[in-house]
Structure 1
């Protein structure tokens, strides 16, 4: 598909071409069109339910949770109790039962603070008076045990430097640059030590599978005191604040959107984010056409409000137009027009033609900048960040990166001098040099020339590293299961070693230190 953003003629008032002209009568979209006319079911694991508040469905999930609770599978039981809560009819006692049951899971997991919150929510939801003594006894036990138990520290990474004024998610110790050799990339503005957090970025758009794990719809946190939407059964929130912030859900609540295939939600959500940043479709159209006309000649100016973030998103490098999957674009187009808010904004043929092309543009941008699978796959989940997309790859990077809920975090792993480029690793797992080169060339279109692909470390430097006292402690830790290791002490040894030798080219000894330090950095991450 090479005619993206082409118009029907050269007339000033010409519409963009109809991208779907060749598939409107195709069998490839017949089943989709039929599905759009029906009510999409709510899926959870292997079960399918009508997407309406229903106490019988709520009781089903609570009973399933009870079975897991008896098996001491606390997390699975908790997930089912939360799902029961999402189906419980507002104002009925079923909600209180779900809160009380979930409180029992938190109690068993020694999350006493969360247990107390759910107990209070059960009371507020009119928990039966005759059952209250048992609930109050659990509350007393929580208060008593909290005094004896050290609560887990919430995972809340912070930048190690003052935040950039124009790009608040990144430290002012780094900046975005552009040149012919590396394109847009990240460079150090000053010397940066090992172990410094230089990026904590909320993803521009992300989606997740809610079929077997519940996340906050807004911030994607897990294992929280989830609150149900009072209207639909599709989403839950970790707090009232997240529910109030979720403009996207306010626009698509009570629609089929959050029950559609995940790839459709992923791309569709990016369109909803864009539309909500502006005062209507016309302003979005004017803004988009202006940004796209300049994106190859300038760097993003900022990412500190909704409009500047969208301009940044549009400036990201797109995949080749030939990779555009027009059937997926059609599915997203028809899916979001099923939302009354969107249908009202794109009510003319001119605007709908623009929307077709905008979805195509989003498809290509997300395809090239997403951490996830193919956008043509219905089960694809993923995230697309902004500044994170400008980090180039090295097989032996100087920056560690990982995701936590709806955020991307970057921490330096090697000492970085002022003016040096910062690199992350695009590939997971162990591969040979030939395998890495082939994947990078196929998926990202470049031949990696990092110091791991072309080793340059001298034998003398390798001998120094092997003789270092810190290395002698790192090597055994690298070779064994780190489950019972003292991560704080081990991380300190890694930092000392990498401060001394991290400037050297990659070697097997450096690899040991980098991989051990990566394990240490991952330890506090949720579900690491």
Structure 2
């Protein structure tokens, strides 16, 4: 069962008890509606009857104590990494400063065991500032004295993304180099092509996310900037957000003041984080969507002037969605609207409620198909998802199962690099997830149709290329072993060697060995998990 199906079935169960119409008749009437506003109004009528399913957030010391006890069990079993997560959960849920101080103190002990000395010192100070018990202070002071003598440089969990020089900056596309341009035709719609020959490894664009959210299962990433942080601080009111420092916490206030107490109601599995991204995008763009025309076409010259207007023009695929799917997404958008209306001050002022309803549904539909995964790489070179973001320029790239462009995450910024040598006039492609190297044709087509509503006709799909087994050459195995600990200096040294080989070899679309090793090197420069 999908997350959308879950809320759909819950709504259906409520409907069966409280509605005079048979559900098939209701669904038929819903399917006949033509506008987003009509769909929202039709469904929202029933939301006035289901407030009991929405629970509003509340910090409790009892929950914080339980999390701390679980952390102590992990700690005494020498499982310091899981202990750390439990102590962070205790910090998130603590209501009183006394319980908060104990949680900070316990987390500092786990941080020490994980050799995170700077983070340990910071948590010790936080524990003391919140009134750490006098009888426990000697251990805390001794811990601080030990950490203070450790010579530790501040950790950087990703390299700064490359900067585009003024001489190379695209005058029409804010985040791109002048080696690409946006064109439009009947076959491909708006898409990106090269304006000159582009070398493998060359940067095409550097774009920050307009809005982003963390995955549900991470407690070591800032909910504002998504930076890796092992000692985050909580929101003062809710139990759902964490920040790497006070600056990010203050920056997030502009939108978090509205989502703060309602995120808990959206934390169940049926509101996956792509949908939470839709809500956050609407909140971040509070002053931008009020007069935004989502139906008009836009020229390339307008592209760089307003990123939200670009995002609002992404395809919603409304006409391709089943009635069940469209109803499911409308239910989620109604849930957002209901909570904003009844449990926040978001609608105070000059908010047009009908416009808000439309924008919420549009963004839910957009984020379900257009959200881009934000990843990090672990020391064993495995890639893991830490969140999703919405990007205005990256989304203009069409999909290929053998892309000639790859995206690398530096925080919430995506660096687009050429994965092949790209000729002048050639279209630039990204992968929307499926790749011929690790997924067969049927699997790729099913994923793309389900999420993006198209049948892929790229060369690997037309020719049914076989998947690629793991590299077995000595060169590949030796290079991967050398990069195994995701060492920045080793990656920089290897990168020059690999780029030279790539230029001499001129790798074709199916020559994956060199390109795979280049991908590993460039990923090491981006987001990296430490423990």
SS in 2 for 1:341: coil
Q: 2:156 aligns with which of 153, 157, 176?
A: 153
Instruction: Decide whether aligned partners of structure 1 residues 367 and 53 sit closer, same or farther in structure 2, where only a CA change above 3 A counts.
Output: closer
Q: What does residue range 113-128 of structure 1 map to in structure 2 within 5 Å?
A: 113-128=118-133
RMSD of Structure 2 on Structure 1 (CA): 3.7
The 1-side partners of 2:327 and 2:438 are apart by 35
1:159 positional shift: 2.6
Instruction: Decide whether aligned partners of structure 1 residues 197 and 129 sit closer, same or farther in structure 2, where only a CA change above 3 A counts.
Output: farther
Q: What does residue range 90-109 of structure 1 map to in structure 2 within 5 Å?
A: 90=96, 92-109=97-114
When normalised by structure 1's length, the TM-score is 0.75
Where does residue 474 of structure 1 map in the other structure? 475
SS in 1 for 2:184: strand
1:84 positional shift: 0.8
Contact 2:289 2:359 (8 Å CA) reproduced: no
Contact 2:405 2:417 (8 Å CA) reproduced: yes
The 1-side partners of 2:154 and 2:355 are apart by 52
Structure 2: state its 5+ residue gaps: 1-30, 374-385, 466-471
The 1-side partners of 2:283 and 2:481 are apart by 51
Where does residue 519 of structure 1 map in the other structure? 520
1:271 positional shift: 4.6
The 2-side partners of 1:480 and 1:214 are apart by 27
SS in 1 for 2:278: helix
1:86 aligns with 2:92: yes
Please list the CA deviations of residues 111-147 of structure 1 after superposition, one character each: whole Å capped at 9, or x if unmatched: 222222222222222223443332232223223222x
1:293 aligns with 2:318: no
The 1-side partners of 2:271 and 2:173 are apart by 28
Where does residue 505 of structure 1 map in the other structure? 508
When normalised by structure 2's length, the TM-score is 0.75
Where does residue 248 of structure 1 map in the other structure? 255
SS in 2 for 1:122: helix
1:364 positional shift: 2.9
The 2-side partners of 1:388 and 1:361 are apart by 19
Aligned pair count? 464
Q: What does residue range 228-307 of structure 1 map to in structure 2 within 5 Å?
A: 228-246=234-252, 247-255=254-262, 259-261=266-268, 263=271, 266-267=274-275, 269-271=277-279, 273-274=281-282, 276-279=284-287, 284-285=289-290, 287-288=291-292, 291-295=293-297, 298-299=299-300, 301-303=302-304
Where does residue 186 of structure 1 map in the other structure? 192
Q: 2:63 aligns with which of 47, 51, 57?
A: 57
Q: What does residue range 306-325 of structure 1 map to in structure 2 within 5 Å?
A: 308-323=306-321, 325=326
The 2-side partners of 1:23 and 1:127 are apart by 48
SS in 2 for 1:132: helix
Structure 1: state its 5+ residue gaps: 7-15, 42-50, 373-379, 457-470
1:313 positional shift: 0.6
Q: What does residue range 126-525 of structure 1 map to in structure 2 within 5 Å?
A: 126-146=131-151, 149=152, 152-162=155-165, 164=170, 167-210=173-216, 213-246=219-252, 247-255=254-262, 259-261=266-268, 263=271, 266-267=274-275, 269-271=277-279, 273-274=281-282, 276-279=284-287, 284-285=289-290, 287-288=291-292, 291-295=293-297, 298-299=299-300, 301-303=302-304, 308-323=306-321, 325-339=326-340, 340-344=344-348, 351-371=352-372, 382-403=388-409, 406-426=412-432, 427-428=434-435, 430-433=438-441, 436=444, 440=448, 443-450=452-459, 454=463, 474-477=475-478, 483=484, 487-502=491-506, 505-507=508-510, 510-524=511-525, 525=527
